[in-house]
């Protein structure tokens, strides 16, 4: 029997913390014909995106672009800098830090997981003093790298990377600093060079507003030097040949041509708006979201306001309520996807994404959908959260560009 496709009216609300909605302008750019990746036109595109992306990472050093998801770029960061059996200090901020540690184990490294007990560590950012204390103990410098996640997508908690750098320096330790800002890049301020990061890992499908499929390693000279002696097996991920060929705008393999068109467009959009404006927009929407959550009388997963994420807000459910059941109601009734609780937080929380191509009304519609869903799912709320969010948005000036156009 013929099955008719059902197409719900309006756009699906993709309010997970990545992949984030892809703006029409980027979708159109990606629909250009795929060109010869060894031809003359391609080199110009390659050079443009390789130069432009450096501005987003705030680096003068090479940024390697892989046709892979963020997980691939994690592996690239480890395999280009480390050798089998190397000790690595990792910090448990949440589910993604846990997955990166699992990868380190699988690659034959010896990761040590620092963190606070239970879910406490999942509610606060990295504690740099713990890193400093551990590195001071390591007088033989057995630890070769410190790995931290800048924006823990599973919790909505950020970490102070400059403070981690200071902790490593205070301990006088030569370990490399590897940072995952897969969901932080182009949402929260990030300074690869100034913070002395050796490898920064990121991906396309979050603040850059692209579909999943490309990921990045921004590298330091120290990391490139370490790569010359690193013995973990690597072939596809090896930076050396890619960085060499990138000098002329090409790759040693077939790059992701249409996603690179998208990246070129995303760079124009983000740099056109101005990075500081992009960060301010994210901070403002995140604050409005938190005000709604507080008015509902629900708990925010992050307990330290100094490290609230501008990318997403983790909303804890009262005892006895399954967060995934609430998400299901919201999905079925209002055609909106929210992030599920991951790992230790499975069923205990959901995540509201407010990153990338998101504005005041996107957020207000999202909050309305969440509020209706909470009520339909029988979650007790203290009051409507919408007035709190609206009042905050009205009280705060809009982005300068919009003001100028008015």
What residues make contact with ligand PLP under the rule CB under 6 A?
A: 18, 69-71, 96, 149, 153, 180, 182-183, 203, 212
Residues 197 and 192: their CA atoms lie apart, in Å, by 5
Question: Which string of DSSP letters, residue by residue, matches 327-384?
Answer: HHHHHHHH-EEEBPP-GGGTTTEEEEE--SS--HHHHHHHHHHHHHHHHHTT---SS-
Residue positions forming the annotated binding site = 351
Q: How many CB atoms lie within 10 A of CB 177?
A: 24
In the bound state with ligand PLP, the residue whose beta carbon lies nearer, of 59 and 183, is 183
C-beta nearest to ligand PLP: residue: 70
Residues 42 and 376: their CA atoms lie apart, in Å, by 52
In the bound state with ligand PLP, the residue whose beta carbon lies nearer, of 127 and 215, is 215
At closest approach, how far in Å is the CB of 184 from ligand PLP? 8
In the bound state with ligand PLP, the residue whose beta carbon lies nearer, of 153 and 257, is 153
Residues 290 and 183: their CA atoms lie apart, in Å, by 19
DSSP 8-state class, residue 121: G
**Measured CA distances, 94 to 18, 150, 204, 299 (Å):** 16, 11, 21, 18
In the bound state with ligand PLP, the residue whose beta carbon lies nearer, of 211 and 385, is 211
At closest approach, how far in Å is the CB of 358 from ligand PLP? 17
At closest approach, how far in Å is the CB of 144 from ligand PLP? 21
At closest approach, how far in Å is the CB of 71 from ligand PLP? 3
At closest approach, how far in Å is the CB of 150 from ligand PLP? 8
In the bound state with ligand PLP, the residue whose beta carbon lies nearer, of 15 and 132, is 15
Q: Which residue has the tokens 């909505």?
A: 156
In the bound state with ligand PLP, the residue whose beta carbon lies nearer, of 103 and 280, is 103
List, in order, residues 6 or more apart from 326 with CB less than 8 Å away. 317, 350, 373, 374, 377, 379
In the bound state with ligand PLP, the residue whose beta carbon lies nearer, of 61 and 153, is 153
Residue positions forming the annotated binding site for substrate = 351
Please tell me whether residue 398 adopts helix, strand or coil conformation: coil
In the bound state with ligand PLP, the residue whose beta carbon lies nearer, of 132 and 155, is 155
Q: How many CB atoms lie within 10 A of CB 328?
A: 13
At closest approach, how far in Å is the CB of 192 from ligand PLP? 16
Are 345 and 299 in contact by the 8 Å Cβ rule? The answer is no
At closest approach, how far in Å is the CB of 65 from ligand PLP? 14
At closest approach, how far in Å is the CB of 212 from ligand PLP? 6
Read off φ and ψ for residue 15, nearest 5 degrees: -105, 35
Are 64 and 76 in contact by the 8 Å Cβ rule? The answer is yes
Are 355 and 206 in contact by the 8 Å Cβ rule? The answer is yes
Strand partners, 315: 300, 350
């Amino acid at each position: 029997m013929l099955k008719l496709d059902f197409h719900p009216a309006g756009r699906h609300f993709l309010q997970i913390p990545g992949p984030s909605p892809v703006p029409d302008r980027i979708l159109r750019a990606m629909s250009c014909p795929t060109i010869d990746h060894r031809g003359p036109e391609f080199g110009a595109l390659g050079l443009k995106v390789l130069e432009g992306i450096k501005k987003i990472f705030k680096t003068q050093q090479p940024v390697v672009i892989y046709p892979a998801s963020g997980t691939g770029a994690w592996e690239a960061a480890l395999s280009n800098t480390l050798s089998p059996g190397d000790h690595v200090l990792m910090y448990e901020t949440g589910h993604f830090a846990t997955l990166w540690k699992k990868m380190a184990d699988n690659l034959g490294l010896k990761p040590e997981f620092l963190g606070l007990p239970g879910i406490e560590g999942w509610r606060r950012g990295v504690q740099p003093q713990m890193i400093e204390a551990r590195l001071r103990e390591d007088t033989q410098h057995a630890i070769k790298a410190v790995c931290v996640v800048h924006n823990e997508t599973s919790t909505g908690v950020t970490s102070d990377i400059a403070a981690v750098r200071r902790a490593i320096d205070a301990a006088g330790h030569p370990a490399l600093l590897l940072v995952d800002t897969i969901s932080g890049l182009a949402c929260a301020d990030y300074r690869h060079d100034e913070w002395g990061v050796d490898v920064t890992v990121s991906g396309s499908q979050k603040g850059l507003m692209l579909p999943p499929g490309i990921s990045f390693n921004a590298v330091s000279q120290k990391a490139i030097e370490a790569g010359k002696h690193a013995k973990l097996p690597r072939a596809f991920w090896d930076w050396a040949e890619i960085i060499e060929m990138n000098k002329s705008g090409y790759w040693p393999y077939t790059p992701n041509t249409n996603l690179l068109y998208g990246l070129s467009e995303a760079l124009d959009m983000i740099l056109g708006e101005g990075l500081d404006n992009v960060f301010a927009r994210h901070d403002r929407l995140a604050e409005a979201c938190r005000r709604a959550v507080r008015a509902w009388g629900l708990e925010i997963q992050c307990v330290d306001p100094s490290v609230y994420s501008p990318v997403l807000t983790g909303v804890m459910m009262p005892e006895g309520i399954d967060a995934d059941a609430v998400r299901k109601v919201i999905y079925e009734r209002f055609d909106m996807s929210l992030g599920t609780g991951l790992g230790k937080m499975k069923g205990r929380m959901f995540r509201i994404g407010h990153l990338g191509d998101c504005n005041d009304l996107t957020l207000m519609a999202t909050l309305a959908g969440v509020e209706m869903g909470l009520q339909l799912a029988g979650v007790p709320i203290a009051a409507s959260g919408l007035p709190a969010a609206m009042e905050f948005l009205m009280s705060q000036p809009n982005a300068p560009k919009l003001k100028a156009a008015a």
